[in-house]
């Protein structure tokens, strides 16, 4: 199915008196410069509030609007995407519906090209949901944190690592915090942060295994 032209969203917003023709032309020009999505561009230019846009699209497209702030997303669902895909599509998987389709929260459900990309990446039929951009960004940072990118702390590792022990710097950072001194509360906080990073790595490994099983 061919993607819906972005001007259609602008026309709908003009018809609803939510933006005017001048604002639409400015947003389209800005979009051509940045390559960002039309809805996101309107919000960044402060031509429309993101919550107003979400509610409008929900009514126009008959697509549910979802609040992501206090939602619990199963790990099995989160593994259908990774951080790169979530950021690129500005979307986050939420749950499976009664038909086994993957419900994905996104900004603009009129972007059929984006939905097609998500379906190919997740190998699952996608049912779009609508959520404000800021809440999607927050949930991406929460559920898909950046992988550990700090420098290797060689001084915190033994010179010769025991056989069959993990070689990842995050593992040895956790060991160092357990064996180290200092304030207990601070050490527990750092251990928790490193365990979160370890979980990200495990999630990546599980997703890779799932992809291999499908081949």
The pLDDT tens digits for 3-41 are 344 448 889 899 999 999 999 999 999 999 998 888 889
Question: Is 124 inside any structural domain?
Answer: yes
- What is the pLDDT averaged over residues 121-135? 93
Q: At 168, is the pLDDT very low, low, confident or very high (cuts 50, 70, 90)?
A: low
Question: Is 69 inside any structural domain?
Answer: no
Smallest CA-to-CA distance from 101 within 129, 72, 75 is with 129
Cβ–Cβ under 8 Å, residues 168 and 201 = yes
**What confidence tens digit (pLDDT) does each residue in 34-62 have?**
988 888 899 999 999 999 999 998 988 88
Q: At 75, is the pLDDT very low, low, confident or very high (cuts 50, 70, 90)?
A: confident
Please indicate, yes or no, whether residues 40 and 100 belong to a single structural domain of this protein.
Answer: no
Please indicate, yes or no, whether residues 136 and 164 belong to a single structural domain of this protein.
Answer: no
- What is the pLDDT averaged over residues 64-83? 88
- What is the pLDDT averaged over residues 153-174? 46
Please indicate, yes or no, whether residues 100 and 57 belong to a single structural domain of this protein.
Answer: no
Work out the angle at residue 2's Cα, subtended by the Cα atoms of residues 47 and 56, and round it to the nearest 5 degrees: 30
Residue 102: strand pairing partners = 96, 126
Domain that holds residue 208: 154-214
Cβ–Cβ under 8 Å, residues 155 and 209 = no
- What is the pLDDT averaged over residues 146-166? 45
**Residue 106 to residue 65: CA distance in whole angstroms:** 10
Give me 56's structure tokens.
């409008």
Query: Looking at the 3D structure of the chain, how many domains does it have?
Result: 3
Please indicate, yes or no, whether residues 56 and 91 belong to a single structural domain of this protein.
Answer: no
Residue 105 has pLDDT above 60, yes or no: yes
Residue 209: strand pairing partners = none
């Amino acid at each position: 199915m061919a993607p819906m032209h972005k001007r259609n969203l602008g026309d709908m917003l003009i018809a609803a008196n939510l933006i005017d023709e001048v604002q639409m032309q400015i947003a389209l020009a800005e979009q051509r410069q940045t390559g960002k999505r039309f809805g996101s561009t309107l919000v960044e230019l402060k031509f429309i509030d993101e919550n107003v846009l979400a509610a409008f699209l929900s009514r126009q497209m008959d697509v549910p609007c979802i609040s992501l702030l206090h939602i619990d997303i199963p790990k099995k669902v989160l593994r259908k995407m990774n951080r790169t895909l979530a950021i690129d599509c500005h979307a986050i998987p939420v749950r499976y519906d009664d038909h086994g389709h993957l419900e994905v929260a996104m900004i603009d459900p009129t972007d059929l090209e984006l939905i097609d990309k998500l379906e190919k990446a997740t190998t699952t039929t996608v049912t779009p949901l609508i959520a404000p951009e800021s809440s999607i960004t927050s949930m991406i940072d929460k559920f898909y944190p950046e992988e550990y990118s700090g420098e290797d702390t060689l001084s915190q590792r033994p010179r010769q690592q025991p056989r069959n022990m993990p070689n990842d710097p995050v593992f040895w950072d956790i060991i160092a915090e357990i064996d180290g001194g200092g304030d207990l509360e601070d050490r527990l906080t750092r251990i928790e942060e490193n365990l979160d990073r370890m979980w990200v790595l495990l999630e990546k490994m599980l997703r890779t295994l799932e992809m291999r099983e499908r081949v």
